[in-house]
Amino acid sequence: MNAEFIEALREIVKEKGVSEDLLFDTVEDALVSAYKKNYAKVGGNLQNVKVTINRDNGEIHVYTSKKVVEEVSSVNEMSLEDAREISPIYDIDDVVDIEVTPRKFGRIAAQTAKQVVIQRIKEAERKVIYDEFVAKEYDIITGIVIRKDKGNVFVDLGKIEAVIGPNEQMPGEEYNFNSKLKLYIVEVKNTTKGPQIVVSRTHPGLVKRLFELEVPEIYNGIVEIKSIAREAGSRTKIAVYSHDEDVDATGACVGPKGMRVQNIVDELRNEKIDIIKWDKLPEKYIANALSPAKVVDVELDEESKSAKIVVEDSQLSLAIGKEGQNVRLAAKLTGWKIDIKSQSQVSE
């Protein structure tokens, strides 16, 4: 332990973001354990020991602490007579620190310090990474695909790898080596092996955050996203509402020449996006949610929270959608059960 070692510790503090006081305290605590293990056992009793490291030159000093008593009964006590041989100022119940630094303690100290520093750095790095990513939970991050294994896609997030599990992958999307992806951070776990980042390409939150980033009116709170229903890789319905009468919520989301929504569609590999105008009246909201189909009539049953919808005969297949997708997403978006019939079916 010397000045070079102290300099090395300070470099670690700078590079890894570890607290200098914490690092030195941890090394000193570890040296106490090393001393007790190798030197301090006396008559089956362990001495009270403390270690100090000079933070300028790296010198180590080991002290055993003894309480001044009238009658000595343990290795951690000393008589008043012995204490006053050291200094006349001592009295009963005072604590005397006596230096007991062994001659060959430097080698043990260096070895112990190295192990502790390595462990502390690992812990500190894990904490820094965890703190950084837990602040980004429910947000978007860009990752680079590095490999695929057993259905999982591994992505590099810069300081850590994350895994896109099979259920978090968009159907039909290719994950090619070195390709960049925008990912939604679903959860950040602090495990014994370090931080674990759960990311997704299928979560509705990905669409929500993309709109917040792309549409200034949403970011500024003028336009609000009320609800999202998504079948990843295929279609999303998003209900929006404007708090300013002069701002058209759907128009703001579409953007000039459709550029805003197109950027999101491109990021989601051509996933269709229906931007729906939210309305406080359920019948209007449900009718809007069935877009692009045009609704003739809406009949609500508040008790069962179900809606009977009538559309023109030519609009029936459009309202239901391919394999029922349009009506399924509309029901998910609004929270209402939806039953659709054509005008001719109703008249029959």
- Within 13 Å of residue 194, how many CA atoms lie on the same side as its CB? 17
Name the 3-class secondary structure at 247: coil
Query: What is the residue type of 254?
Result: V
Average pLDDT of each block of 10 consecutive residues along the chain (348 residues)? 73 78 84 81 66 86 93 92 95 94 79 76 84 94 95 94 95 94 95 92 97 96 98 97 97 97 96 97 97 96 96 97 97 98 92
Q: How buried is 218 (Cβ within 10 angstroms: 0-12 exposed, 13-18 middle, 19+ buried)?
A: buried
Name the 3-class secondary structure at 16: helix
What is the model's pLDDT at position 110? 73
Name the 3-class secondary structure at 94: coil
Contact status, residue 1 vs residue 106, Cβ threshold 8 Å: yes
Is pTM beyond 0.85? Reply is: no
What is the model's pLDDT at position 107? 76
CA dist., res. 8 & res. 19, Å (int): 14
Q: Where are the beta strands (DSSP E) in 243-305?
A: 272-277, 295-301
Distances, alpha carbon 120 to alpha carbons 9, 26, 30, in Å = 11, 8, 11
Q: How many residues does the chain have?
A: 348
Contact status, residue 337 vs residue 345, Cβ threshold 8 Å: no
Nearest alpha-carbon partner for 185 in 109, 227, 129: 129
CA dist., res. 44 & res. 113, Å (int): 26
* Helix, strand, coil distribution of the chain in percent, nearest 5: 40, 30, 30
| Residue 259 neighbours by CB distance under 10 Å | 10
Contact status, residue 330 vs residue 289, Cβ threshold 8 Å: yes
What is the model's pLDDT at position 116? 75
Two tokens, residue 30: 């570890």
CA dist., res. 35 & res. 62, Å (int): 8
Show the domains of the chain with their CATH numbers.
3-131 (3.30.1480.10), 136-200 (2.40.50.140), 203-278 (3.30.300.20), 282-348 (3.30.300.20)
Contact status, residue 276 vs residue 239, Cβ threshold 8 Å: yes
What is the model's pLDDT at position 19? 80
What is the model's pLDDT at position 44? 45
Beta-carbon contacts of residue 165 (< 8 Å; ≥ 6 apart): 151, 152, 198
Query: What is the residue type of 282?
Result: P
Nearest alpha-carbon partner for 48 in 82, 111, 96: 96
CA dist., res. 304 & res. 253, Å (int): 33
CA dist., res. 142 & res. 156, Å (int): 9
Q: How buried is 288 (Cβ within 10 angstroms: 0-12 exposed, 13-18 middle, 19+ buried)?
A: buried
Strand partners, 333: none
